[in-house]
Structure 1
Amino acid sequence: MAGRYAGVVVWPDRSGERQGLKKWTLRRIREGVPIVFLDRFGFDAEDGFFRQIGLELNTIARLTPPARIVSIDPRIGFEQQPLPQMENFLPMKLKEGTSLLRLASASGDISDAAAITPWGGYVLYPFGVTRLFNDQNVWVVNPFRFFKDALRLPDMPVPDTTTENGVRLLLSHVDGDGFESMAEWPGGGLAADELRRRILEKYRIPVTVSVITGVVAPNGLYPGKAPRLEQAARDIFSLPWVEAASHSFSHPFRWKPEQVDNGMVAESWHTMKIPGYNFNLEAEISGSLEYINNNLLPAGKKVKLFQWTGNCLPGEEAIRLTYQAGLLNINGGDTMITDSNRSLTRVAPLGISRNGWFQVFAPNQNENVYTNLWTDTFYGYRRVLETYRLTEFPRRLKPVNIYYHIYSASKTASLKSLLHVHDWALEQRFFSIYTSEYIEKVLDFNRTVVARDGSGWLVRNSGKLKEFRIPQTAGFPELTADGRVAGFSDHGDSRYIHLLPGGEARIHLKATLPTTPYLAQAGGTLESLERSGPGMKIRLRGYTPFSVGIANADRCVIRDEKLGISLAGTEMSVLELPEGTHALDVVCH
């Protein structure tokens, strides 16, 4: 594994004795691959083995309560201070390394419950993630500092899916549930029509809308209503800024018969009860794709993605079928950090690989979970703004994802919440992209290679992901005429590096700020940037109006021939541009 993996994290939920975990661990240590254990080591406590890894186990300890803290490192106490408990007290002393949390029993027995060791590190339960009395999970150890230190991770460029050209990304996608519902106010129409008129036509941002084909098609639940429902779908998909997606044929609540629940509430049925239909994956995925493409979309538009339904726990075969059909996929993940549960344990990863087939998680959750599963507080989606804020500060963890169901257009309270969230998002001037583009960035994250290149770093991927992040303390990227770095900007403790298209760049860091002009931020896609002497030519494209920031332009003139403008540059020049493609010429003297 040495040379291929930066390190290994072992988080066992049961013993690994039968799988040979002890021998495997010793091999990794001999190879020099850093290894981290969380909660437990995964095998029976045995002094001979622990001595080999620099730990001393006291097998005759009396363990008299209570336990107390002897010493604590600043890396402990991240979201919750440690609460020593005798039932989890392991009388084990660190012989070499740095103890992060040392405990003692009343009888004087010592437990180094967390440590950085010569081979990596460990945090014993409950000092990694612990559960509070209200069933909320919190981090006790600081995961950012601990993993970096224990795994010996250098300050290196990290691919980032939250940002492009220094601007936080905004995507929006809609699950097709409630398409057939009627708005619950006097004169209200079909929820799908209300959504189109009141949201989709008002906010002309890239948005992905899905339909459940078993709801709108003639062979579905409502054959008598099918002509009206199909026309409503065609009206939505005719909007140029709407991307088409499938939300399955029968909306499976469970994607496998043996699945019992989705982690929140047990689902007692498998799919919608469509007469004559027996569940099969081909009908749900490729069948729904074919119906939408052939019956609902205007010429030139095709379904690009599949949005998982129900518990969003598809098996590998279901995910494989989306890839086989040429579809991207999204949903699941359950990111729902709020002011009433501010823990990073409520922030999900980018997705999960199921035997080689990758399911992409939604960046955050939809209104269903903010409204107690659509049972009350129908205004609850306003609280998604808390999620957006807590995944932006103190560090940016997620893009902004306006994710909801069509049934939100059926109630006054939920519709007002949607309007409020959209108004807020447009005020922020985010970088608007399609959901399919976000998914491609996540998949490119998995493909990205970051390697040492002399004194710098070589980064390579397919070119869908063009933003990399370093700590501000690591320095500034060099800007050269033949390089692929367009510029950089800062947020929190991080420095975001903007790359040119192409999928490959060499990043060299230096201690001093550059003095030549560079792209500080842009809310649109960077198509090209050519440096010539102190000046440069930049070509950008935006789906919506966007801003561009050019640094070190105080001796320059910035021209946009399309708009017929010529502006004297400043130390940080910011231009507000309408949607479309723009060619900026930065002429310096």
Structure 2
Amino acid sequence: MRQAIRPALSWLLALLLLPAWGLTAHAQSQARPEEHVVKRTILALYDRQSEETIRLSRVGSYATMPLHQLGLKVVYHNIRDPLPTPETIPGLRGVVTWFGGEVPEPLAYLRWATALLEQGIPFAVLGDTGTTGAPVEQQDRFLRHLGLEATGDFRLLTYDMALSQGEAGMIGYERAPMRPYPSYTVFRQGDAGATLYLAAKGGEGADHPLVIIGENGGFAGAGYEYYFDPEIVRGRWIIDPFAFFSRIFRVDGLPRPDATTLAGRRIYFSHVDGDGWRNISRVPGFRDRESGATWALFKKAWEPYPDLPVTVAPIAAELDTKYFASADDLELARELFALPHIEAATHTYSHPFVWRFFRHYNAQKEQELEVKAGRAPSTEGNRWDRMMASFNLTPQDRYLISEGTAADEHPVMRAFANVPWSLENEIAGSARQIEEVLPAGKKVALVQWSGDTSPFPKAVRETRAAGMTNMNGGDPRFDPEYPSVLFVSGLAFTGNGIVQPYAQASNENTYTNLWSERYYGLRYLAATLRNTERPRRLKPFNLYYHNYSGEFPESLEAVVSILDLARRSEIAPIEASRYAAIVDGFQSTRIVAIGGQDGGSVWRIENRGALNTIRFDDAAFQAVDFGRSAGVIGQRHYQGSLYVALDPVAKAPVVALAAIDRTDIPPAADRPYLIEARWPLRALQPGAAGAVTAEARGYGTGAFTWRVEPGRSYAIHVLAGEDEVWRGRATADAAGRLAFTVDADGLRWLRLELSPEAAGTSDSAS
């Protein structure tokens, strides 16, 4: 599913990213003396010669998610490109490396790395240091920051080796080191103050550090940071990556932009790629219908779940009468998108399989590939031949992308090569085509990447220019087949100067061996959803699949099983385009510590876009100080973390924390605040004597829990303009929890009014 090896980024890439990073630089130049911009950027080095792409490198695949979880941004740089300076990467907090051998020009690299370390920029070194061929004295200037000292030795045979563990809590996160122990480079502990977590017992009585954290960095040796079996492409962490990176980059106590939670609840979103729009279905009742797979989903998975929004992304060529669309196809699309909880996206116009081919498009080359694959029309412009060649569009077509691994296979680059290629047409043009079947007021807001989901930078920039967000790739899984957070991808791909938000769950392809078996496989998404929620929330609740999931009864039932799970879960449902915008906000967020350095108690949150949750970890005994805060809607303690809900209308909210002495009840405050809600809020206004108003919008019924004065009764009024759409009463419990559910249509912004009642007024929960 994912392989090990490599990431990229050069000083030129740093210049390309300056528009995004420049915000931080501008903030630093504007910050007052008593303010400090929190640095959030981690530079991830990789070797492109040994690792095929950034996306499949170890830092790109395995290290990025824990770093994102800690609230840090990641940029990548190929070690073979000119090394960047901190000035080209504003906000640089640290560097992570995960080399598989010697770096080119190790002396030049050591000088560069040591200069950064001496400026206080820590290094997290996993695997090889990449510098063992350099003179020992040059290595030691670098290694002493990690708590190490070079010996120049290497231990190949480990059959008689014993391990010793130091401070607890770092080793054995998902598995312990097991015999036969890997060979290792022999280091000595070079700093008595360094924290040693794992060592090999040396024959001379001295321990050889294998995992250690020093004054300004840390090291986890190759084979002792994680276990990986290349035969089955599976692995598990040996070190705790969250603790390892947190301690090295010193992020304890810092606010963390959070893309998993909204209004105190786990985010839910669902998106559907349009592959299989016109496919036949074997589901009873839909077998004889044109586009039966889509009809089956429409009637069984979409229409019956108006409380769960779904973003559906057709391939535009299948809604274009110049190519494949029939009148029935267009009518189906109009009926589908008329449902208010269905958002429209685009899965491109012609469904490219291999995006890199189109970076420098060659029409003649594509035609040759089509002829070899037997897909070229027998007569120029023969629409019928083309349609029959690709009618049942499923992942099976992707076997044709194997670059000719079998004598009778030939690669094709996209599903519908009779559509003239143009990048503008694939992005903005596909949106225009799909919008022809949308009801008034709806627009296409999201591009869902097709094929290998690895668009070249210009393609991603084209989505931004067209005013859309973008998503796909990543394919995270965490279940018995992929039993590790190693296979939980980060929030986005951020290499090559772009931000490409990833899907936050894998689709049915990885569960069904590319739609060739186990058509019920998407049921096992439930395991990933469970494992990425406990013991720590790593991901939102994302249901991601294709139109061809309507082909078989068991595949359709698998989709419905996850929808039913969502209904049983405490979630905040939103549209997929909104989630992609939240990930964009994670990247752009700027945090300013007020009145102190990192670890202070007051922060201003800027440039956060659609992101409206800030998380503090290990914060059970901390709470929002509403008297010193601004633009904060509410707070909730969960899993030892404090989730702070920000008001979307607040441009630069301020979050101040104070100590509390109880963790069993919601913290007291001098004003009502939101604990959690299914409908996210905005424009909250506290009133006199405990009154509060806000605007709310969401899917399903509006469940809310507020913290108010214990035992206080409230009248609740919900208005659409001047019209009252719901009213009720509720009384807070002894801990101050005021819970009620608004039974009304929340698809438009409604005004929520909470008015405290006089003592003695009769009340009833509604």
TM-score (norm 2): 0.72
For residues 109 and 154 of structure 2, the distance between their equivalents in structure 1, rounded to whole angstroms, comes to 26
How many pairs align? 583
Equivalence map 1:407-556=2 (5 Å): 407-454=548-595, 455-471=601-617, 472-473=619-620, 475-480=622-627, 483-501=630-648, 502-512=650-660, 513-516=667-670, 517-532=672-687, 535-539=690-694, 540-556=696-712
1:367 aligns with 2:464: no
> 1:370/1:586 Cα in 2 relative to 1: closer, same or farther (>3 Å)?
farther
Distance 2:628 2:701 in 1: 29
Cα RMSD for the two superposed structures: 2.6
> 1:391 touches 1:397 (CA, 8 Å); kept in 2?
yes
Whether the 8 Å contact between 1:63 and 1:105 is mirrored in structure 2 is no
Preserved CA contact (<8 Å) 2:445 2:577: yes
Residue 575, structure 1, aligned to residue 670, structure 2: no
Q: For structure 2, which runs of at least 5 residues remain unmatched after alignment?
A: 1-85, 360-394, 403-410, 596-600, 661-666, 719-725, 760-766
Alpha-carbon shift at residue 402 of structure 1 (Å): 1.4
**Alignment map for 1:2-151 (pairs within 5 Å):** 4-18=91-105, 20-45=108-133, 46-52=135-141, 53-54=143-144, 55-59=148-152, 65-66=158-159, 67-74=161-168, 75-83=170-178, 88-96=183-191, 97-106=194-203, 110-132=207-229, 134-151=232-249
Residue 203 (structure 1) aligned to one of 305, 326, 343: 305
For 1:268-417, list aligned pairs within 5 A.
Answer: 268=402, 269-272=411-414, 274=416, 276-277=418-419, 279-293=421-435, 295-417=436-558
Return the alpha-carbon distance in structure 2 between the equivalents of residues 482 and 495 of structure 1: 15
Structure 1 residue aligned with 2:74: none
Report deviation, 1:385: 0.9
Structure 1 position 564 matched with structure 2 position 705: no
1:13 Cα deviation after fit: 4.3
What amino acid is aligned across from residue 286 of structure 1 in structure 2? Answer: A
Contact 1:61 1:109 (8 Å CA) reproduced: no
Distance 2:316 2:674 in 1: 45
Deviations 1:275-332 (A, max 9, x none): 6445442332232122222x32222222111110111111112112111222211110
Closer, same or farther in 2 for the Cα pair 1:241/1:82, shift >3 Å? same
Distance 1:586 1:141, change over 3 A: farther
2:339 aligned partner: 239
1:585 maps onto 2:688 in alignment: no
Amino acid across the alignment from 2:334: R
Deviation at 1:266, TM superposition (A): 7.7
**Distance in 2 between the 1:230 and 1:61 partners?**
68
**More displaced 10-residue stretch of structure 1: 481-490 or 93-102:** 481-490
Could you say what secondary structure the match of 1:503 adopts? coil
Distance in 2, Cα, partners of 1:63 & 1:573: 64
Change (3 A) 1:15 1:317: farther
Go from structure 1 to structure 2 and tell me whether the alpha carbon gap of 1:397 and 1:64 turns closer, same or farther (over 3 Å shift). Answer: closer
- Give yes or no for contact 1:336–1:365 (8 Å, CA) kept in 2: yes
Q: Distance in 2 between matches of 1:15 and 1:449?
A: 36
Structure 2 counterpart of 1:387, which letter?
Answer: T
> 1:61, 1:272 → 2: CA distance?
49
Moved more, 381-390 or 553-562: 553-562
| Kept after mapping to 2: 8 A contact 1:65/1:106 | no
Q: CA deviation at 1:25?
A: 1.0
What is the alpha-carbon distance in structure 2 between the residues aligned to residue 173 and residue 441 of structure 1? 15
Letter of the 2:715 counterpart = R
Q: Aligned in 2, Cα 1:339/1:574: closer, same or farther, shift over 3 Å?
A: farther
Q: For residue 14 of structure 1, report the CA deviation from its aligned partner.
A: 4.9
Tell me if structure 2 keeps the 8 A contact 1:93–1:110: yes
1:182 corresponding residue in structure 2: 280
Secondary structure, counterpart of 1:58 in structure 2 = strand
What secondary structure sits across from 1:90 in the alignment?
strand
**Does the C-alpha gap of structure 1 residues 118 and 174 become closer, same or farther in structure 2, counting only changes over 3 Å?**
same
Inter-CA distance 585–187: structure 2 relative to 1 (3 Å threshold)? closer
State how far apart, in whole Å, the 2-side matches of 1:71 and 1:63 are. 21
Task: Please tell me whether the aligned partners of residues 429 and 546 of structure 1 are also in contact (alpha carbons under 8 angstroms).
Answer: no
Cα contact 1:476–1:509 (8 A) shared by 2: yes
Which 10-residue stretch deviates more, 199-208 or 431-440? Answer: 199-208
Closer, same or farther in 2 for the Cα pair 1:84/1:49, shift >3 Å? Answer: farther
Q: CA deviation at 1:438?
A: 0.5
Deviation, structure 1 residue 437: 0.7
2:184 touches 2:221 (CA, 8 Å); kept in 1?
A: no
1:410 aligned partner, one-letter code? E
The change in CA–CA distance for 1:322 and 1:103 in structure 2 (over 3 A counts) is: same
- How far off its partner does 1:88 sit? 2.7
What amino acid sits opposite 1:572 in the alignment? R
Report deviation, 1:272: 4.2
How far did residue 4 of structure 1 move? 2.6
SS in 2 for 1:332: coil
Q: Secondary structure at the match of 1:44?
A: coil
Are the aligned partners of 2:716 and 2:755 in contact in 1 as well (CA < 8 Å)? no
The 5 Å alignment of 1:153-164 reads 153-164=251-262
- Structure 1: how far apart are the matches of 2:415 and 2:686? 61
Distance 1:574 1:13 in 2: 54
1:424 to partner: Cα distance:
1.5
CA contact (8 A) 1:392 1:398 kept: yes
Q: Secondary structure at the match of 1:131?
A: strand
In structure 2, how many angstroms separate the alpha carbons of the residues matched to 1:510 and 1:146? Answer: 27
Aligned residue identity for 2:656: H
3-state SS in 2 of match to 1:290: helix
**Cα pair 2:629 2:654 within 8 Å, conserved:** no
SS in structure 2 opposite 1:59?
strand
Matched AA of 1:566: R
List runs of 5+ in structure 1 lacking aligned partners: none
Normalising by structure 1, what TM-score?
0.93
Give the CA deviation at 1:73: 3.4
Give the drift of 1:515: 4.2
Q: For each residue in 1:460-508, what CA deviation from the matched residue of structure 2 results, as whole angstroms up to 9, or x when unmatched?
A: 1244111111122461111228722222112212111112221322222
Q: Where has structure 1 moved over 6 Å in runs of 4 or more?
A: none
What does the per-residue CA deviation read over 1:147-189, in whole Å, with 9 as the maximum and x for residues that have no partner?
Answer: 1111222311111111111111111111101110121145422
